[in-house]
Amino acid sequence: MSSDLHRPRTISAEAADDATAAPVVSPAPATTNRVPHTRTGAAWFGVCAAAFLLVVLVVFMVQNTRSVEITFLWMHGSLPLALALLIAAVGAAILAVVVGAARITQLRRMYRQRH
């Protein structure tokens, strides 16, 4: 009986003569009772993940307050280790976004030229 649920129904002989008739396909039965994925759910997950990462970052910064000497090209100074690492991470993230945006722009231009 369950195999009948997955087979499309066939049309009658009278309807087969009609050129505009289309086969009637029964919808597949719901196999699970899961809640569908939504953009709001994805946004909520993103907010929770960001809050967790923020807590981890704050704990990291509180535990690494030791001052370190920083030298970059002609600039010299000292600042907390956590702040130095945070500045380096933000710089790397900005660089990754710039390179990614350039690649996306390149792919969009190639797509427009082909179509």
Distance CA 98, CA 105 (A): 11
In a shared domain, residues 86 and 41? no
Q: What is the DSSP letter of 68?
A: E
> Could you read off the pLDDT of 58-95 as tens digits, one per residue?
898 889 889 999 888 998 999 999 888 888 889 999 99
Q: How many separate domains does the chain show?
A: 2
Distance CA 99, CA 109 (A): 16
Closest CA to 80 of 62, 92, 57: 62
- pLDDT for res 6: 54
Is 3 a domain residue? no
pLDDT (average), residues 14-30: 57
Is 29 a domain residue? no
Is 110 a domain residue? yes
